A and B are shown apart, each in its own frame.
Chain A
Amino acid sequence: MSRLPVLKGTLDLLVLRALSWTPMHGFEIVSWLERAANSSLDIEDSALYQAVYRLEERGLLQAEWGVTENNRRARYYKLTSAGRTHLRAETRNWVQYADTVTSILTASKSGEPAPAST
């Protein structure tokens, strides 16, 4: 299983994305990210919790104690409306950035974008 390197600053975005469907607890977020990336993340799990706390502090997440399917007490995180707005904006930025980088990396010598290959 190849490991997905996490770029600096993108972890927050990934966490917000994970929570965009439903509130999750910490381990659920980790598992979701691993599933979505189809690999494990190249960071320590504790880093994710740090990211979560940071997001909570900024008011992008809200935490609440709840109970898991197996009847265990867990801290569930959910997006606040500020978090949702932030996710939307950051996603747009990220996609735009990635597109730009991609088009530069795949450009021909003249600077024209390479014809799309099928």
Chain B
Amino acid sequence: MIRSGVRRAFRLALRRRDRWEREVEDEIKLHLSLRAEQLVAQGATPEEAFREAARRFGPLTESRARLLEAARHRELRMHRTEYVADLRQDISFAVRTLGRQKGWTAITILTLALGIGATTAVFSVVSSLLLHPIPYPDADRVVIVEQQPNQGNNTGIRVSITPASPIVNAWRTGSHIFESLEPYRARGMLLRTTGDPAPVRVTSILPSFLTFANERPLIGRIFSAGEIENKAPVALLSEGIWRERFGADDKVLGRSITIGGQIGDSAYTIIGVLPASLQTPGVGRDRTDIWFPLDLTNRNLGLSIVGRLRPHMTISAATRELDALALRADVYPPGKAPFVTMVRRPAELIDFRDSLIMLTAAVALVLLVACANVAHLMMVRTATRRRELAVRVALGAGRTRLFRQLITESFILAFAGAGGGILLGWLGLKALVALRPASMTELTAAHLDLTTLGVTIAASVLSGILFGVIGAFESSKQSTHEALKAGSLATSHARGHDRLRSLLVVSEMALSATLIVGATLLIRTVVNLQRTDLGFEPKGLYAVNVSLPNARYRTPASRAAFFNEIAARLRATPSVRGLAFSLVPPGARSFSIGTFEIDGEAAANAAGASFTDVNDVDNDFFKTMGIRLVEGTLFTDTTEAAGQVIVNAAFARAHWLPGRALGHRVRVAYQGQGHWRTIVGVAADASTTGPGTHSTAPLLYGPKSEYSLQESIMVRTAGVKDLAGVVRALVKTIDPQLSPPHVESAEAIVARTISGPRFTMLLLTAFTFLALVLAAVGLYGVMAYSVTQQTREIGIRIALGATRRTIAKAVVLRGVLLAITGAGVGLAGAFWGSRLIAKMLYGVAPLDPISFAAGALLLILTATAACVVPTRRALAIDPIRAIRAD
């Protein structure tokens, strides 16, 4: 037998089945005849000898079968051993080859890792938030049910109406389309039993919520029907708070805890603990700490609702059914529902959904660039190795064997790249979550998605292998003789190959150009948002949000006493220049629901309802905020009866000629009812909820006639260091039991309102940068390769007197031409793509020429930079050596 190593070296085929079967037969035959000869020599007759030989060998058929089986086993095992040895040899050879080209290997692995990492991080977010946002069984049938005014949501933000319990009851009893409809109500309260009073999130549910979520209590039990009916003061703890504050003690059952809310403190008996996995819908929102029974008889409470459709039921059918049921609930006048039902998929409720989808597209482009780069790197490599491969073929290496070698290399690169990608993806995701703006709470729920990881790894690895194989094919087509004969600096190379490489680089450039345009548009958007005139002065302005407990501040007089006191003390504080009261602070809005009507103009739809922005303010509000009064006066009479109102300028201008708004009457009518109010003033437009948010929709400033339980005190300061500290101290002296108010600077509020777009912009810029770097690496690769290929040609040209200028120009021109082609295609892509992000832009048109110019320019600059090294290499060519080489 040939030694296995030798066989491997020459790639001899392993023996085939018929061959080793014959060998076994031969061996048996030889044995029998040798034995017979031996016996004859000892004096037996030939006949006897053969019989004896056969007897000693054993029953022939049976033995033969046994031997064949043993031989088969042996061949199989040896085949496997040899295969493993081959593989090991392939791997160590590949590692050595790759190690010899450290730069190339590092770039390839890094490209793979960046592509896989970035894509994985973003796709993981998409998968967790948009594709699998809700932790309930049959999530594809789970929907959120809420209401909207029948004229729709005109506010530009996500706001909805939570249906009242009579409607919810009608839905629950009447629906055939829903398998279940679970109302719940969540609110913040204070747990006063263990240690310091702690804010807790309390959610009221029905026992059926557990069935819906397919969960059961860890210990104890859920509320009984009787407890719900009798409004028994019972509660279940969440697993989290049970472990943190109750030491996971089984004896909590039956214990009483005190929980404080708006109405005051009450005692509740703990009857069970619910697992941490039980959650209300709302990805990444605060977790519920304590569960209460839901009282469906209270008609005043708005309820959140999550439901599960029966299989094959559509959202539109569900909407129609719920609308019809709501009309029969005896809540609205016959046939005139001011609200309509909205049934939505949970993923639709994520505010930054558009950003996520856009970023997904962007990162997919980055992945494409990375794939193109890997493909291209693989091709360059096989091309430069043509000679090596030809030598090995000449020495007897089989083509399949070389093929296997190339694929092994691809796999090793893929593994290294995938490893790096997983690490980068994980880090990237952590960074995303850590750097998220406050408005993107849902991001916290994102986790590394294995499917995504698999898909991205497969995509980049496949592209590597595919192009590795293309390269191998290309090189194997060429005759061994040719490749050996041609020098290593052969001037001729496959034209098609070259074109494919250029195509890859052009696509990389194009994708990058598209991304640059998108990123520039977003950068300009954020700059515009930051520069825009807000209509009020956030600098030095603070919002102090005070919330008083109903139990001790039930009377208007007690509230007035408190707020007057704190206002007086704040005014007396040095560096406080002024203050005012407002129903809502900057960044927040409050709405009146109903039909907005102007006296004298027929209401478009008397039964219609929409949201109208309202705010109750005192007369100091406008001066404190820095909002000019454009027309009219401040409130001269703050009584309800006087019905004075100040409106926003954009609305006034949309309806009346300048100066004509005063004296007109407006109202928000709900089912035909509502006080008419007279316009006494017009205030300049102020984007208190963030740059660019003011519109021609009405904003009604009403006079503050008395203090409510929740007030925002707007404080105008000059050079105050720690207003929050001052306010806290003040509140403590006035009412020591009060929880400290929330103080935030208006500047921080404004920054918060644009933190979402900024975050999106930063991410897109990062991805664009990534794509651009990858594309530059790709272009560099192509240019460096072509300079190497043309060494002799360039040498000859230098020898013939070409100046350094001409040489440099030729190289750079080729690179820039590739970039220009790429830019052309990329800008065309952006022309189409920028429309998709039009909704996210502010103060800049989707076809903004500056952004498009930036795309082209940046790309060409990058391309020029990528040509620097290849150009220097071309200039350094020594004509004599180049021509003599080989």
Contacts and interface: CB of A to CB of B under 8 A. Distances in A.
B35 A57 contact: no
Nearest to B75: A57
Given A45-B35, A49-B27, A74-B30, A63 B58 contact: no
A47 B56 CA distance: 10
Contact of A63 (B1, B63, B70): B1
A92 interface: no
B510 to A, nearest CB: 57
Given A26-B27, A62-B1, A54 B58 contact: no
B81 A49 contact: no
Interface in A33-53: 40, 44-47, 49-50, 53
A56 B57 contact: no
A53 B70 contact: yes
Nearest to B62: A46
A46 B77 contact: no
A51 B199 CA distance: 80
B73 A45 contact: no
Given A27-B34, A44-B56, A44-B58, A75 B27 contact: yes
Interface residues of A, number: 25
Contacts, number: 66
A54 B75 CA distance: 11
A113 interface: no
A90 B66 CA distance: 26
B72 to A, nearest CB: 9
A65 B1 contact: yes
Interface string B8-33: 00000000000000010011101100
B71 interface: yes
Interface in A10-69: 25-27, 30-31, 40, 44-47, 49-50, 53-54, 56-57, 59, 62-65
B56 A45 contact: yes
B49 to A, nearest CB: 14
B26 to A, nearest CB: 7
B219 interface: no
Nearest to A56: B74
A72 interface: yes
Contacts of A73: 26, 30
Given A63-B1, A75-B23, A50 B70 contact: yes
B836 interface: no
Contacts of B28: 46, 49
A73 B57 CA distance: 19
Given A65-B1, A75-B23, A75-B27, A50 B67 contact: yes
Contacts of A72: 30
B89 interface: no
B70 A44 contact: no
A118 to B, nearest CB: 38
B371 to A, nearest CB: 44
Contacts of B2: 64
A50 to B, nearest CB: 5
Given A31-B38, A53-B67, A46 B58 contact: yes
A53 B38 CA distance: 24
B66 A27 contact: no
A56 B73 CA distance: 10
B95 interface: no
Contacts of A26: 27, 30-31
A4 B517 CA distance: 92
A112 to B, nearest CB: 45
Contacts of B78: 56-57
A50 B64 CA distance: 10
Given A56-B74, A57-B78, A47 B1 contact: no
Nearest to B77: A57
A45 B57 CA distance: 4
A79 to B, nearest CB: 14
A101 B28 CA distance: 38
Contact of A44 (B34, B57, B64, B71): B57
A47 B58 contact: yes
Given A31-B38, A64-B1, A45 B31 contact: yes
B74 A53 contact: yes
A46 B74 contact: no
Contacts of B57: 44-46
Given A45-B56, A57-B77, A64-B1, A27 B30 contact: yes
Contact of B74 (A30, A45, A57): A57
B408 to A, nearest CB: 25
Contacts of A30: 31, 35
Nearest to B73: A57
Contacts of A63: 1
Contacts of A49: 27-28, 31, 67, 70
B59 to A, nearest CB: 8
Nearest to A49: B67
A45 B1 contact: no
A58 to B, nearest CB: 8
A62 B5 CA distance: 13
Nearest to B4: A62
Interface in B674-727: none
B752 to A, nearest CB: 72
Contacts of A27: 30-31, 34-35
Nearest to B34: A27
A63 B27 CA distance: 12
Contacts of A62: 1
A11 to B, nearest CB: 13
A23 to B, nearest CB: 11
B55 to A, nearest CB: 9
A59 B34 CA distance: 27
Contacts of B1: 62-65
A46 B35 contact: no
A45 B30 contact: no
B144 to A, nearest CB: 66
Contacts of A65: 1, 23
29 contacts: A25-B30, A26-B27, A27-B31, A27-B34, A27-B35, A30-B35, A31-B38, A44-B57, A44-B58, A45-B56, A45-B57, A45-B58, A46-B57, A46-B63, A46-B64, A46-B66, A49-B31, A49-B67, A49-B70, A53-B67, A53-B73, A54-B70, A54-B74, A56-B78, A57-B77, A62-B1, A72-B30, A75-B23, A75-B27
Given A62-B1, A64-B2, 15 more contacts: A26-B27, A27-B35, A30-B31, A44-B56, A45-B56, A46-B28, A46-B64, A49-B27, A50-B70, A53-B67, A56-B74, A56-B78, A57-B74, A75-B23, A75-B27
Please name the 8 residue pairs, one residue from A and one from B, whose CB atoms are nearest each other, closest first: A44-B58, A46-B63, A57-B74, A53-B70, A46-B58, A27-B34, A64-B1, A45-B57
